[in-house]
Amino acid sequence: MRGEAPPNILMVDDDTHVLRSLRAALESHGYRVRSAVNGPTALESCAAERPDVVLLDLALPGLDGVEVCRRLRNWSRVPILVLSARVHESQKVQALDAGADDYITKPFGTEELLARIRAALRRDQARRDEEPVIQAGGLVIDLVARRVTVDGREVHLTPTEYELLRVLATNPDRVLTHTQLLRTALGSGYEDALDNLRTFIAQLRRKLEREPSRPRWIVTEPAVGYRFRPDG
């Protein structure tokens, strides 16, 4: 959110009814809205208008939504929210791996969409602000000192566990795929080591969570990845 100006949203969908109702919903909540009906126009519009958030439908004619995501990520870090009628986990993973920030399944309620937009804007702002300390309930992560405390008690993490926690916590409320987490924690080449990832996450939860089998901070998105819930 730059200064006082209301955030600028680019909606990409080939259905004019969806665009019309979304526009009404978003404008009534104070957002400035632009729309594009296909991939190439969306990419042009992103370059020209520099939106604060992009709402992207996956099923676009011609240039597919996932490809739009990938191309956009070549030069932009703008938050991308995928809105899709496709519900299978593999499509979700594909979009997230291509660089989407979040994924909402159509149909959705306006409240849900607005909440996700606010979360995306917050994450983006936090990334710009580069706060050195993350606080989530009793969990405090000091990114400078690489120190983690739970309810004031210091927790000793291995370097891999710390990396996992850091990447999850710096992306609050965002689903990170198995591949993304493995690349961060173990480096490229280990993207298939899912059993290792499960073990690291279990260890991390045992050190942080009050009830490791019913985690509040590091939550599972079955068949997709993990998400850090700051208000856990």
Partner 1 sequence: MWKRAAPYLVAVLSVLVATAIAVRLYPIANDFPALLLLAAVAISASIGGYGPAFVATMCGFLALDFFFESPPFTLEVTRPGTPLDLVAFLIVAILLGTLNARLRAAGERASAARREAEAALDARDEALAIVSHDLRTPLTAIKTSVSTLRNPGAPLADGTQLELLGTIEAEADRLVHFVSDALAMTRLEAGIKPDRQWNALGEIASAVLDRVGPVLGDRPLTFDVPDTLPLARFDAGLLDQALSNVLENVGVHTPPGTPVAIVGRIEPTHVRLEVSDAGPGIPPALRDRVFGKFERLSDGGIGAGLGLAIARAATQAQGGQLLIEDSPLGGARFVLIVPNVVTPEAVDAR
* Residues lying near partner 1 in the complex (CB under 8 A): 87-90, 107, 194-195, 198-199, 201-202, 205-206, 212-215, 219-223
Closest distance of CB 154 from partner 1, Å = 22
Bridge partners of 221?
Answer: 225
Nearer CB in complex with partner 1: 47/87: 87
Nearer to partner 1, 7 or 172 (CB): 172
CA distance 1 to 117: 12
In terms of CB distance, is 3 or 222 closer to partner 1? Answer: 222
CA–CA gap between residue 226 and residue 20 (Å, rounded) = 34
Tokens representing residue 224 in the block: 């997709």
Beta carbon of residue 85, minimum distance to partner 1 (angstroms, whole number): 10
Which one, 158 or 220, has the nearer CB to partner 1? 220
Torsion angle defined by CA atoms of residues 180, 186, 191 and 193, in that order, rounded to the nearest 10 degrees = -130
Shortest reach from residue 102's CB to partner 1, in Å: 16
Of the pair 15, 89, the CB lying nearest partner 1 is at: 89
State the alpha helices, DSSP H only, in the chain: 16-28, 39-49, 65-73, 89-97, 110-129, 159-169, 178-186, 194-208
CB of 201 to partner 1, least distance (A): 8
Angle between helices 178-186 and 89-97 (to 10 degrees): 40
Nearest distance from residue 210's CB to partner 1, in Å? 13
Question: What letter does residue 172 receive in the DSSP assignment?
Answer: B
